[in-house]
Amino acid sequence: MRIKSLSAIVSFLLISFAMSSCLGDDEPIVYSSNPLIQSFALDTVKGKDYLFTIDQLRGKIYNQDSLPVGSDTIIDKILITTLNVTGVVTVRNSADTADSLLNTSDSLNFVGTMEKPFMMKVWAPNGIDQKTYALEVRVHQQQPDSLNWGDAPLVTNYAPGISGKQKSIIFDNQIYLYADAQPVHITALSDGKNWRTATATGLPNTNVTSLVQFMGKLYATVDGSSNAYVSTDGISWSDSGLGNDIVVLISPINDILTAIRNVAQSEGEAAEQRFCDTDGTTWAVGDTVPSNFPQNNISAALYTTSIGVENLVIVGNTVGTQANDTVTVPWAYMQGQEWVALSTDTRLGCPKMEDPTIMYYNDQFYIFGNSFTNFYTSEAGIIWSEVTEMFLFPEAIRDRQTDYSSVVDDENRIWIMLDTPNEVWRGKLNRLGFLFQ
């Protein structure tokens, strides 16, 4: 039974306190003037307990970890299982004209409390002082495992002159995009809608075959040149001094830059392709490069293992007869070790993709190519499976084959710059984008 009258509530408090004082000695009893909710919990939702934070300063109670999508049908009839309070709690529902005592044995409807919080008033033991708490039961409005691209591209017709292969990289909180016979296209990571252009100097051409960031600078190789070039701003380039025998730069890892070079084993012998790495000044020469190792449009994913060791996994286009392979083979490298092919099995591996991109995202590897069908994913880079739901490309570009480039920023946003249609799409896994109080 609920007591509907506020005066009855206060009278109930005062009478209770008066009776307790008569049972004691003659010393006056001072009742607390501090109304306080000390702990709060709801019943489990889909078998899981959700912790609630009590912000005493602002009088707010909320769950930082939002309930799953679809929980609205559960929390419309739910019980408060924990409510430790100094005083008495009253509530007022929309249909009531006065406060009533909160009965925790009654199921309550908390649907929509993000928009209109459930208000609770705590009366101190002195029957006078009071404090109001706003209860927010937060529910995800989006599927957390879904890749959200928004309803439309971030921008269209951002670089109408681009045609063919392109390379993009994040540098100095900006995206730099290079394409053959084009100026450099640049946008701030905080923007993405407005792109400016600048003419690159010091490069033989802008058909960039590899583009990496190393020791706070950009390094690149370009079509038709066996030199590597360096820049501090992405616009003005010069010869890096790393030699004129470079096939392709692969990727930095820790404090070295990996590459493929044409190296003669001894004087007078023909040069052969060898794995090499440099600290920026001198080269260390490694093993001979296998024929099925990618040498064009290399995409790299760096990640740190559970024991704190940085690893590198790359994919790319193979050349010669290997270009007809039916599997996209990821290659892994740890500093001081050999390059290892992770997956060559046609049954368990990733199907052959043109211009593949690999990324380590949400503790998984993902590979996609220029056909934009579906992502392929793997936990360790060995066994790959096709993603057919939730983690998908935007419907507008799915199955559309086009040249592109892609980057992933520090906020877990995936950027895809397309040639045709000339659009920029930016997506993010919902679970990585929820905002917490």
Distance of CA 100 to the CA centre of its chain: 45
Q: Is 362 domain-assigned?
A: no
> Is the separation of the CB atoms in 180 and 206 below 8 Å?
yes
Q: Is 25 domain-assigned?
A: yes
> Is the separation of the CB atoms in 296 and 317 below 8 Å?
yes
Q: CA angle, 269 as apex, 268 and 274 as ends, to 5°? A: 130
Q: Is 264 domain-assigned?
A: no
> Is the separation of the CB atoms in 317 and 288 below 8 Å?
no
> Is the separation of the CB atoms in 192 and 324 below 8 Å?
no
How far apart, in Å, do the first and last CA atoms of the chain sit?
36
Give the CATH number of the domain where residue 122 resides.
Answer: 2.60.40.2340
Q: Which residue has the tokens 């709801």?
A: 42
User: What's the CA gap between 89 and 101, in Å, rounded?
Assistant: 6
The pLDDT value recorded for residue 437 is 30
Helix intervals (H) in 184-289: none
The pLDDT value recorded for residue 112 is 65
With DSSP H G I counted as helix, E B as strand and the rest as coil, what are the percentages for the chain, rounded to 5?
Answer: 5, 40, 55
Write out the residue range of the structural domain in which residue 81 sits. 6-136
Q: Is 398 domain-assigned?
A: no
The pLDDT value recorded for residue 1 is 37
pTM to 2 decimals?
0.71
Helix (H, G, I), strand (E, B) or coil at 356: coil
Helix intervals (H) in 295-367: none
Q: Is 299 domain-assigned?
A: no
Q: Is 100 domain-assigned?
A: yes
The pLDDT value recorded for residue 14 is 46
Nearest to 278 by CA among 315, 232, 243, 234: 243
Helix (H, G, I), strand (E, B) or coil at 194: coil
The two three-digit tokens of residue 101, written as one number = 């005592």
Nearest to 146 by CA among 68, 72, 71: 68
Calculate the CA dihedral of residues 87, 89, 90, 94 and round it to 10 degrees: 160
Cβ burial of 406 (10 Å; 0-12, 13-18, 19+) is: middle
Q: What letter does residue 27 receive in the DSSP assignment? A: S
Helix (H, G, I), strand (E, B) or coil at 324: helix
Q: Provide the domain count of the chain.
A: 1
The two three-digit tokens of residue 280, written as one number = 């920026």
User: What's the CA gap between 5 and 28, in Å, rounded?
Assistant: 29
Q: Is 321 domain-assigned?
A: no
Q: Is 305 domain-assigned?
A: no
Q: Please report, as a single letter, which amino acid is at residue 133.
A: Y
Residues of the chain with pLDDT under 50: 1-5, 8, 11-12, 14-21, 23, 435-437
- Backbone torsions φ then ψ of 124, nearest 5 degrees: -65, 160
DSSP 68-115: PTTGGGTTTSB-EEEEEEESEEEE--TT-SS-EE--TTS-B--TTTTT
The pLDDT value recorded for residue 107 is 77
User: Between the CA of residue 373 and those of 205, 416, 434, what are the distances in Å?
Assistant: 32, 14, 27
Nearest to 79 by CA among 117, 52, 43: 43
